[in-house]
Amino acid sequence: MKIKFFIFPCVLASEKHDQTYVKTRAGIDGIRLKAEVFMVYAAVLAGGSGLRMGGNIPKQFMSVSGKPIIIMSIEAFIKSGSVDKVCVCVSHDYLNYTHSLVKKFLGGNEVQILEGGKNRNETLFNVLKKIKGEGISDGDIILTHDAVRPFIDKRIIDENIAAAKKYGACNTVCPAVDTVIYSADGRFIDAVPVRSSVYHAQTPQSFNAAKLYNYYSLMTAEEFEKYTDACTVFTENGERVFLVRGSRDNIKITYPEDMEKAESIVGKLGK
């Protein structure tokens, strides 16, 4: 734990997309600094089977430009300098393998590797219980991130921390480019949402850690299965979740063709 000079974000509107998001760059009107002690955790969720990718191992363990995707995601949080502790959740079968990768690429000293649960919510609750056991304060922040989004950057991380600190919860998003169609039966159009009000969700999703722990503690087994992610947990409890501007590069590697996109992004970013 260390003293952070916390940047309170001002709210801006995107001229192109009428999107509200957080800006934390110095020099913007409305920003003020406050010294505060709190912990920032990153939970990298890597328990998926990756069946849509094919191959012999889950997609998070595949490599892009010679480096495992999961390592790229972990490394982004470490290099940001904004996160105090990184926790990685993987399935039981890949615990030892993950330890070996972290030791090989990162030295193994800054990462805590935990076993995931049956679903995303159970996995995240495992992380929160570990944090709770070590002592959780009212001001602590947790960023939750898909292991298969290796191109998360410092700007997104810092804006998530600022938004979670101010609002209690936030979700990284990008404005929808294509028109989105809603169909209840998968055969006929039921609605066409206004595109300027539709966003594609990314990660991180970030929260006040103590509040998220309390919500999870009160959930039923049915709710753990029903709620798609932690933002749903907040909205179902009447909380508002703030939107943080994401990045087109912050892709989720899901299908084989995404590997080619990832290699291209590595080349563009010079990673």
> Which pLDDT does position 35 carry in this prediction?
60
Could you report the per-residue pLDDT of 191-221, keeping only the tens digit for each? 999 999 999 999 999 999 999 999 999 999 9
Before 204, cis peptide (omega within 30)?
yes
> Which pLDDT does position 47 carry in this prediction?
80
> Which pLDDT does position 143 carry in this prediction?
98
Extended beta strands in the chain, E state: 3-8, 10-13, 20-23, 32-37, 40-46, 63-64, 67-68, 85-90, 111-115, 141-146, 169-175, 199-208, 242-245
Could you report the per-residue pLDDT of 59-104, keeping only the tens digit for each? 999 999 999 999 999 999 999 999 999 999 999 999 999 999 999 9
Identify the band that residue 108 occupies on the pLDDT scale cut at 50, 70 and 90. low
Indicate whether 159 pLDDT > 70. Answer: yes
**Of 32-36, 135-139, 152-156, 164-168, minimum mean pLDDT range:** 32-36
Contact 83, 77 (CB under 8 A): yes
- pTM for this one? 0.85
Q: Is 92 helix (H, G, I), strand (E, B) or coil?
A: helix
CA distance 89 to 99: 11
**Orientation angle between helical segments 154-167 and 69-80, nearest 10 degrees:** 70
> Average pLDDT, whole number, for the chain?
87
The CA-based dihedral angle spanning residues 252, 38, 211, 204, taken in that order and rounded to the nearest 10 degrees: -10
> Which pLDDT does position 120 carry in this prediction?
93
Contact 41, 80 (CB under 8 A): no
